[in-house]
Every structure is written in C-alpha cells, then in structure tokens.
Amino acid sequence: MTAKKKTDKVRQVREVLFMCLGVISACFGLKSFLMPEHFIDGGVTGISLLLSTLTSWNLSYLIIAINIPFIILGYKQIGSVFAFKTAIAIAALSLGLIFIPFQPITHEKVLVAFFGGFFLGGGIGLAMRGGCVIDGTEVLALYISRKSQLTVGNIIFILNIIIFLFAAYFINIDTALYAILTYLSATNTIDFIVNRLEAYTGVTIISEENETIKAFIINDMKRGVTIYKGEGGYLQKKDIDIIYTVVTKLELGKLQDKINEIDPNAFVVQQQIADLKGGVVKRQAFH
C-alpha cells in the first residue's frame, strides 16, 4: 500500500468514526434532553422539533423529510460525495431516534437547554468533521450567500431568529428563550469542534538569538520553520532573520517558555489559524 493510499484510508476511517460519533451525540442530546421537555433548537433540527411539538408528528420522519431539499441542494452546490454522506448521516440519526434507547437525564430546564444544545451541537460538529452535515441550515445559507450580499453567518442568524419568533408565537415565550440558550450552547460547541479542537497558531519571531530558537523548533519540537529576510524600521537594522513556524495550541506554551528562556526581549507575534494543509504539522498527525 502506497503512502497516499494509506493516508486516504486513515482519513476515510476517521471520517466514518466522526460521522458515527456525531449521530450518537446528536441523538443523545435530542432524546435525553430536548425531546422530553419539548424544547427546540435553531436550524433545520429546530424546525423539525417545532413542527413535532405543534403537530405531534414523529420527529424521526420530520428530520428526513425536511432535510431532503437540503441534501439535493448540497449535491448541486458541493458535490455528490457530500450529499451521499449527508443522506446516510441523516438517515442514521432518524433511525437512532427510533431504536437507540436513550432515557431522559434531567427535567431541570436550564440544564436541559444547555446540555441538549451541547450534545446536539457536538453531534453536528463531529458530522462536519466527517465531511457531511446532519442539519441542512449551513447548505441553505451557503446557497443564499452566493446569490446575495449576506454572509453565511448573517443568513443563519436571520433564519434562527424567524424560528425563535415562531416558537414564541405558537408555543410560548419561555420556550423561545430556552431555545436561544440551546442554540448558543450548540453553536459554541460546533465552533470548538470544527475550528478549535485542532487549532493551529502561526508564530512569527524576531530575535538576536534566531539560530538558537530555530534549532530548538526543528530539533526539539520537530516542527518546520520558514526564514524571512527582513529590515528593521524603528531601529533601522538590516538583514534581520524572521522565523515563522506553525504549532498546535498544546505546543504553544512550550515554545513561549523556551523563547523567554533564550531571549526575553524577542519580538513574538501569534496568529490563530483555522486550518492548514500539508507541512510538518499535518504530517505528524498520521504517524
């Protein structure tokens, strides 16, 4: 097996694992927290929960029915692989709601709203890490954003405000307020899993001891570095070596301590990186 095939195999296994964990987490959040108290969330899942509460229709069927247009839209906007995986994940979630025997955990409303959103958001985030979605809101928002001046975030916000207003009118204001709490919990969990779980930090270092710092990063941390040739403006120094490297958030403290030890006067700039491709940092993940 070639290195590329091995890497592809590992990636596929990881994606399937993320999808399975996402479905289980979302199912747990719905069956053990939100559904017993007739709470709702934002997005397509929130619409399904709202209709289920108002009509007593089965949530499992509603989730499939309401997500079908978004699966078709995802096929047109993103691709057939994404649409296929999304269809599988949504079908698995629907079956999980029927067959997985999760029981209610608590009836304390604040805990229900918070942890229901936490586990539901965790499920959505894990599914996204697996290359699909179990809530079609993002697909719709992406489509609308390409046809208008609104951003994806603006569109999702507007759609959810409409859902919460419907909940306030057709159910009651308390349910709508708890829905906002659920939505905030879910959104922050999604953001953490998608953007911060493997967050990277780009570090730019300007120091008189650049050779010592560079040797530490390469030999001790096993990370790559890029050297820029620069020129000081304020001090008018010429031919300054500027070190740039990328580390994970778990390694950042170690690097900061070592820089302070080598050169307390070093100038250091840190930037959060949402994702990267290739390089030493990514390769380390597959060993």
- Residue 139: the pLDDT is 85
pLDDT tens for residues 12-49?
Answer: 899 999 999 999 999 999 999 999 999 999 889 999 99
Helices 152-170 and 43-55 cross at an angle (nearest 10°) of 10
The whole model's pTM is what? Answer: 0.76
Question: Does the pLDDT of residue 207 top 50, yes or no?
Answer: yes
* Better pLDDT: 162 or 280: 162
pLDDT tens for residues 72-98?
Answer: 988 888 888 889 999 999 999 999 999
Give the number of other CB atoms < 10 A from CB of residue 6: 11
- Residue 286: the pLDDT is 36
Question: Does the pLDDT of residue 201 top 60, yes or no?
Answer: yes
- Residue 140: the pLDDT is 81
**Taking residues 98-112, what's their average pLDDT?**
95
Count the helix, strand and coil residues of the chain and give each as a percent rounded to the nearest 5: 65, 10, 25
Residue in this structure with the two tokens 């570095």, named with its chain if needed? 225
Is 205:260 a contact under the CB 8 Å cutoff? no
Burial of residue 173 (number of CB atoms within 10 Å: 0-12, 13-18, 19+)? exposed
pLDDT tens for residues 110-122?
Answer: 999 999 999 999 9
- Residue 284: the pLDDT is 47
Q: Phi-psi bin for 279: left (phi > 0), alpha (psi -120 to 50), beta?
A: left
